[in-house]
Amino acid sequence: MNRQPVQVGDTIAAIDLGSNSFHLAIARVLENRIQLLHRVKQRVQLAEGMDEKGNLSETAMARGLNCLEQFAQQLNNSQISQVRAVATYALRRAPNRRQFLDPAHDRLGIPVAVIPGTEEARLIFRGVVQSQELKSGSLVIDIGGGSTELILGQGIEPQQLTSLNMGCVSYQSRHFPTEQPTPAQFQRAIIAARQQLEPLLSRYRSEDWTLAIGCSGTIKTLTGLCQPGDEPAPLERQSLEQLVAFIGHHGMAHPRFAGLSDSRRRVLPAGLSILLACMRSLQIEAMTFCDSALREGVLAEMGGEAPHPSVCAQTVAAMERLHHIDTRHGQRVAQSAASLYLHCPEAVPDLMQLLHWAGRLHETGLSLNFRHRHRHTGYILANSNLPGFTLEQQQLLAHLGRFHRKKLESFEPLDSQLANAGQQRQLLMALRLAVVWHLGRRHDLPLPELQWLPQGYQLILPPALADDPLLQADLLREQRELASAPQPMQLFL
């Protein structure tokens, strides 16, 4: 979160770990834009072979790690100022993602950020607006290996962000089990995709948009098949309908598809079905293709005027407004929690920033219910669209919100590459003590000193508060609640 801002002239790189392909893009930062220097794509098919729970297969993970080794070699041969790696649907869904993320970190030298679907959609839109000006309302569609993103926006701002769990790799294994697609298989796949689109149709149809834009390898391939000439032309729905009929009659072994790789040929019927479902449901007659997408969006955010942390700050402010949070109280709790955590010998700046946001949002659940506000806070933060936050950042933010008060019998640290178990306990201790310190909106008390000891935490009160009976009672209750954790957190008063 606290990545150092890049300077004009720096060379930066973005890695996109998609469910179908991995992409590496290298760019130079100019005064008002980024200049793409190099782009590499490898079709890894990370989502191929997923089990029914979403676990990645050993073979797919091996292909992905081998690809990252090659990317790392290219980056080592270049003078790169900053690298950011993001992962999408396959790793977002996989319960065993740490088996891939840890060795991926070792190979790249940086952590891989697994991003939520709506964050993926936001970055895709940002990538599109780097390459073309959207003067009127526009719909952007990106069909990936595991998910499909739909974004409505105008200018540089997205207005609607949706990510659906349907992609060309997952649909290929589900709806096209044989090498010869049949009309019946196409029909089932298109209906399944349209069913997933149904809940958002009224919302998307009611918006004022006139231009449809497609990005990703699937739409690029389909555009080339339907418009084989050198001159770029819109991809028409009628052409896709004809292509479905053609494949159903001739199969994918026809010479028309000879220029496609084997892996692209396998997933093309699935991608075609999803795109045709989108165009039928949203009444799109034609769309243009854009070659910029997620990786360009990541690069633009790294080198642009709106750095990544500001997106998170805007999200937190929007949540405060949406849930009518007492911002003065939230800010005081956030500042106190950060000050207490700062004295930790191993304080991490990125985690302190996340702790500050957790403090600002700890009363989110009050908008639903007073008594169980901590549980509601955890649920809301875990399930809301939080632009700018990675999946693990959002999970940790929600976890801190869930356990910021009351007993801790059910508290277990998350399995996270962002913060280990000890760091999570330190964050929680700082937040809980800040909440206790400001109970009843006590905003005029000097902060205590918190000593971080190997066997626990020593709280040293300011002399003026040593005999405050209400504060003492609150701290004694907190001492008991901290001791209720499966691994007790000892607070010495």
- pLDDT, averaged per 10 consecutive residues of the chain (493 residues), comes to 72 94 93 88 89 93 97 90 94 95 95 95 94 91 94 91 92 89 95 96 90 93 82 88 95 91 91 97 95 92 66 93 96 96 88 96 94 95 93 96 94 93 94 94 88 84 86 92 89 83
Segments making up each domain of the chain, as ranges: 11-115+297-303, 133-289, 308-446
Residues in a beta bridge with 140: 151, 213
Q: Which CATH architecture has domain 133-289?
A: 2-Layer Sandwich (3.30)
- Residue 216's closest CA among 291, 136, 271? 291
Do 11-115+297-303 and 308-446 fold alike per CATH? no
Q: Which CATH superfamily is domain 11-115+297-303 in?
A: ATPase, nucleotide binding domain (3.30.420.40)
| pLDDT of the residue at 63 | 97
If DSSP codes are grouped into helix, strand and coil, which group holds residue 427? helix
Contact by Cβ (8 Å): 377, 362: yes
Q: Is the dihedral of CA 302, 115, 356, 421 positive or negative?
A: negative
Distant-in-sequence contacts of 415-419, Cβ < 8 A, 24+ apart? 415/98, 416/392, 417/98, 417/101, 417/102, 417/105, 417/111, 417/392, 418/111, 418/351, 418/390, 418/392, 418/393, 419/348, 419/351
Report the interhelical angle of 349-360 vs 421-437 (nearest 10°): 40
Q: Which CATH architecture has domain 308-446?
A: Orthogonal Bundle (1.10)
Q: What letters, b where the CB count within 10 A reaches 16 and e where it falls short, cover 392-404?
A: bbbbbbbbbbbbb
Question: What is the pairing mode between strands 112-114 and 82-87?
Answer: parallel
Neighbours of 474 (CB within 10 A): 17
Tokens 């402010």 locate to 317
Does the pTM surpass 0.75? The reply is yes
- Residue 300's closest CA among 9, 28, 18, 22? 28
Tell me the chain's radius of gyration from C-alpha atoms: 25
Contact by Cβ (8 Å): 256, 228: no
Q: What letters, b where the CB count within 10 A reaches 16 and e where it falls short, cover 456-465?
A: bbebebeeee
The angle at the Cα of 479, spanning 474 to 480, to the nearest 5 degrees, equals 100
Rounded Cα–Cα distance for residues 384 and 361 (Å)? 12
- Residue 297's closest CA among 31, 18, 34? 34
Specify the amino acid at residue 383.
N
Residues in a beta bridge with 141: 150, 214
Helix or strand run (H / E) with residue 380: helix 373-383
Q: What is the DSSP letter of 5?
A: P
